[in-house]
Chains A and B, each alone.
Chain A
């Protein structure tokens, strides 16, 4: 698998798109999706709420386990992906595209976000 070059990555296996008009899109990586197995339930932060970098803001549930979703940035949630809530398998089938999770108007980033190459080395895939 390849991790898109234009994205940056957290140690909790989230990806963050470059900001457009101050808004970044957030999802989980293909590596994380593969490790989870089939995702069956997604709980996303509510639109209008504030998420804090490094803190939990939702959860992803798969056949075998539940994982917390961490925010890689601080800011206001401006959109949540309802398609993923209705069809969580999008996280597995298109983690970097249709399986995106939510969008944030970024006020502060997590300090230690990685480049695609750094994340590939960190995750081993």
Chain B
């Protein structure tokens, strides 16, 4: 990735500043961390709605008669089986099975896909796709600058979005996308998100970002919509048990190590089932079956100190403090009112309900209970 001295700014930069946002550097982008209280923003998304600028996410378009074959070769999922208009959560791995990134892939048309990568990995994913495209009749296009991305998330998001679009939102299923017009601007409207709530992500031209933001803000006023920053996005996804690259996912882990082996599809029709990482992932699947690695679990605090990424998890009861795992993400949970964490814990200690597991917080072993993920699931 080219590292420039000054961070990149989204099309809504001036607007965020006018709203008094606290900005933060995130993967080379200057992004809104919070506008006021991040806990209020979190609670608004859980109970009403929040509006996010996610323009740092990396869009890559793959087109051509062999677009599906290329993606089946390059990614671990069965991309040819996605119906046009639908989306899928998947991963791109190295030949050795290590996770390069987790992705959402939209099949826009039969021969057109949009791959959405994490900002921190977008260049890596782009480079890998370009390299893996060799020999396929397909084009890989860097569309990072072609899109701004806004997300409206929360139980009132359908009502709010309906008031600024004629698109058929009722017919739009979870993990589906359709082209439409939002507040006069052409957009890809997707029913996806990273909060654990119902919601939409809107891919649109950067020059339309401000008018759409303002229209959603106006439409959302009566529903309690607030601008929401990356700080609450992180606590929302943590409560929803969703992994974040660089925390729960890394090149040191295969999808099976991360408890996400289900995204790997060995039964692909294209390329006679061959794909990058297949052999290593076949072994990883067997290893996970026979000799389970550490498991990704939830931890809920019995006390009030907050666990953070990188802190050691130690065995229950033992004064010796045998290390049995490591925290990957931790935060005070606004919904539970207690500190929570995700952690990789040795399988022998990973049973939900295990109490008294310790997190080493600056030398003190704070007691935690192991729970199954997610911490929070919305009522449907």
Contact = CB atoms under 8 A, between A and B. Distances in A.
Nearest to A42: B304
Contacts of B34: 37
B38 interface: yes
Given A63-B231, A63-B332, A41 B304 contact: yes
Looking at A38, A41, A61, A63, which has the most chain B CB atoms within 10 Å of its CB?
Answer: A63
A40 interface: yes
A63 B304 contact: no
Interface string A2-44: 0000000000000000000000000000000010011011000
A63 B34 CA distance: 11
Contact of B308 (A34, A40, A66, A89): A66
A34 B38 CA distance: 11
B306 A66 contact: yes
B38 A41 contact: no
B38 A37 contact: yes
Interface of B: 22, 33-34, 37-39, 231, 235, 304-306, 308, 331-332, 339
Contacts, number: 37
B65 to A, nearest CB: 47
A124 B98 CA distance: 46
Interface in A48-64: 61, 63-64
A58 to B, nearest CB: 12
Contacts of A66: 306, 308
Nearest to A63: B38
Given A37-B38, A38-B38, A38-B39, A63 B331 contact: yes
B306 A40 contact: yes
Contacts of B331: 63-64
